Structure 1
């Protein structure tokens, strides 16, 4: 583990009040990102919100460009949203008219499934192996035999730290001429998403990129942008607005977008490859340390290149009660994931930890002991 990267990440942030092992839910923002957002808010008070927004254009454009680079889509139109769910809503509500069949994984995020259904998409699941990773050869055969109108892939799910073969699926979809949309809420910043070959990708600010809450991004290739049909404003009212501008139109927290742009810039300056490598190492260490905690089973393979470690109870422990006890008694923040996270696959609630690069080996040992105590206590 790179001590200098961990130290720099830690020094850039306020001192944590306890132990934060919840970056897959919401990472800790840097002081610079917070101050950038605060400066913009002050500027709004000084010159007016719309004038301040115009002045922030270079910072926002830099944020868009950084997201496009991380996604391997330098020519993409990048639209700010309020989060991943808003991004998916914008995309599906603007999808070209016609048939609406969709292929996704059995572990698809529950709220995504709900939005797909709300917009008339009928889903079918891609074949996977025993762990839940997509079986590429079988998927290729299925997609070729009965092509859907859209393939939706979540490279890292909300309920498990398994990493899907994004590059292989992107290549496959490109070969078959199938649109591929990527939900990178848990992936962008944690695993390499610069595979290219997909038509759209969306993500949140607050997770591995450590930006503010209430911000997300949607990046769409020009070939798909021109086919989208935004509902608002209607074309006859849109005037000279581009499709991307129509998607982004509306009231927004520009200060938060500025903070996110700073955060993604910091991430790139720190070195995406180094961050990803350190996160993968933290995942390996976490699974090793937690393998022997009584009453829990580590879900991911020990060497899975992800920082997320999922713990399934084996003796009836309630992940929600354990999470609450850890916060109340030890000031340790984790996530309890219910079956609504993956209703087609998850059979019971699980506990999830997701350390960022500033987490130490000692922190993981402290958590393992606290988890044992929590399990006994609740």
Structure 2
């Protein structure tokens, strides 16, 4: 198959050759050589002039990273702060939350998010969903208007299921009712359209943006940011700026900023279309593999395909054999990812732009062999 000049080949050419078949981008994508070198160059600069001088020199790169995130979320660069990851973003936001500590979220909410809500004293209510766990906006309007919560928290694409939530429709409901909407975009940023008029959006670097681990972002609109509780020591700093104050891995933030720039240069819409195409292809190829059921509809516009075992296969053991025997990386997702909804572990397949049909066919053959 000829791949010269294709988006897949351009994506692959920007990276080291994969050691096997990487179908695990929903966990951690492969960084580009440019991103790795930018982070390494910053680390070398820290060695030459010291960390704080190097950080000052990196300010334009970091500002460009914030501007790129702003473009992907429909916010402004001043609305964006760096964090250490998605979980840290939510933790920071909940720590300064200024309103009632009640949250309406999905029945399939990500387990660590549930734990964070509980530790911060939030009372949880479940949003109405269909059989795939997708929110029903009309039913949500009725539920939320009866007793408005302090926050609606919506995970745009789940960790355990590649189903897209109707974020824009939920956002319109929240605007109508005056309820703040916070979007977990860990699996969504650079994967689906995240310009959705939310009050806050947070995400990580390492998934679909293909940046380094240990970096995240939190974007908060001024109407909400102005209400956040500032610490006593804040002085001239806003509450949002205080969330970014403290020790940080600036080299990783530089690498992340480069990754965001490369995402924008590749064309966010083109990337999303390619990922949706790969999702359709993956589900089609996997539809008849014995012992597994494809969870998502074939045309779901994500690159995540979830396989639920139907014949007693253990996803953890299957994942281990795929790596050891075939050099194929996937995810075994346990019920802790969505403890209020999942009843059995699943196998998750998540190719990025550089996956070819040959890679997916290799995976299907290997899955048949190890199941």
TM-score, length basis structure 1: 0.96
Structure 1 vs Structure 2 CA RMSD: 1.2
- Quote the offset at 1:289 in angstroms: 0.2
TM-score, length basis structure 2: 0.98
- Quote the offset at 1:145 in angstroms: 1.1
SS in 2 for 1:238: coil
- Quote the offset at 1:3 in angstroms: 5.9
SS in 2 for 1:123: strand
- Quote the offset at 1:90 in angstroms: 0.2
Structure 1 stretches of at least 4 aligned residues deviating more than 3 Å after TM superposition: none
CA distance in 2, matches of 1:117, 1:174: 26
C-alpha distance after superposition, 1:174-221 (max 9, x if no partner): 11110000000000010000122x110000000000000000000001
Partner of 1:123: 124
Q: Does 1:70 align with 2:72?
A: yes
CA distance in 2, matches of 1:113, 1:275: 31
Partner of 2:61: 59
C-alpha distance after superposition, 1:285-311 (max 9, x if no partner): 000000111100000000000000000
Partner of 2:37: 35
CA distance in 2, matches of 1:118, 1:242: 25
Q: Does 1:92 align with 2:94?
A: yes
CA distance in 2, matches of 1:224, 1:241: 16
- Quote the offset at 1:239 in angstroms: 2.5
Partner of 1:279: 275
- Quote the offset at 1:2 in angstroms: 10
Count of matched residue pairs: 369
CA distance in 1, matches of 2:353, 2:224: 36
Asked whether the 8 Å contact 2:228–2:240 carries over to 1, the reply is no
CA distance in 2, matches of 1:295, 1:248: 47
Partner of 1:189: 190
Partner of 1:210: 210
SS in 1 for 2:6: helix
CA distance in 2, matches of 1:301, 1:17: 30
Q: Which 5+ residue runs of structure 2 have no aligned equivalent?
A: none
C-alpha distance after superposition, 1:319-375 (max 9, x if no partner): 000001111111100000000000111111000010001100111110001011111
Partner of 1:229: 229
Asked whether the 8 Å contact 1:36–1:262 carries over to 2, the reply is yes
Asked whether the 8 Å contact 1:2–1:278 carries over to 2, the reply is no
Partner of 1:263: 259
Partner of 1:304: 300
